[in-house]
Amino acid sequence: MHHEVTKCPYVVGNTIELHLNTPHDGQTTKAKIIKVFEPFTLSCVMVVRLEYPDFDMEGDLVLKLFDRRFATQLREDEKIHPWTLDIEERYHQFILDDGAEKNIQMLNTNSESRSEESGTRNDAQNEAYAHDRSADFYKSEIRAYRTLKDIQGTEVPKHYACVTLPTSHEASMRQYADIPGILLQHIEGFRLVDLAAHAPRESWQYICEDAIRIVNICTDRGILNLDVRTRSFIIERIREDKFKPVMIDFALCRFREDFDSEEDWRLRKSGADEEGAIGRYMQTILQGGFDYHHDAYNLKLDEEFKMEG
Per-residue burial over 204-231, b = 16 or more CB atoms within 10 Å of its CB, e = otherwise:
beebbbbbbebbeebbeeebbbebbebe
Peptide bond into 39 cis (omega under 30): yes
What pLDDT is attached to residue 1? 46
Rounded-to-integer distance, Cα 290 and Cα 277, Å: 14
Three-state DSSP class for 218?
Answer: helix
Rounded-to-integer distance, Cα 6 and Cα 23, Å: 33
Peptide bond into 23 cis (omega under 30): yes
Residue 89: partners with Cβ closer than 8 Å, 6 or more residues away: 1, 2
Cβ distance 159 to 21 under 8 Å?
Answer: no
What pLDDT is attached to residue 5? 65
Question: Each residue's pLDDT tens digit in the chain (309 positions)?
Answer: 455 667 899 999 999 999 998 667 778 999 999 999 999 999 999 999 998 766 678 899 999 999 999 999 999 999 999 999 999 999 999 999 887 888 888 887 765 555 565 568 899 999 999 999 999 999 999 999 999 999 999 999 999 999 999 987 788 888 989 999 999 999 999 999 999 999 999 999 999 999 999 999 999 999 999 999 999 999 999 988 899 999 999 999 999 999 999 999 999 998 899 999 999 999 999 999 999 998 877 788 878 776 555
Q: Residue 215 is which amino acid?
A: V
Please give the DSSP secondary-structure letter assigned to residue 302.
I
* Percentage of the chain modeled with pLDDT above 90: 73
What pLDDT is attached to residue 170? 80
What pLDDT is attached to residue 92? 92
Count of residues making up the chain:
309
Domains of the chain: residue spans and CATH: 1-186 (no CATH), 189-305 (1.10.510.10)
What pLDDT is attached to residue 50? 92
Residue 1: partners with Cβ closer than 8 Å, 6 or more residues away: 86, 89
What pLDDT is attached to residue 193? 97
- Flag whether the pTM goes above 0.85: yes
What pLDDT is attached to residue 110? 64
Cβ distance 231 to 191 under 8 Å?
Answer: yes
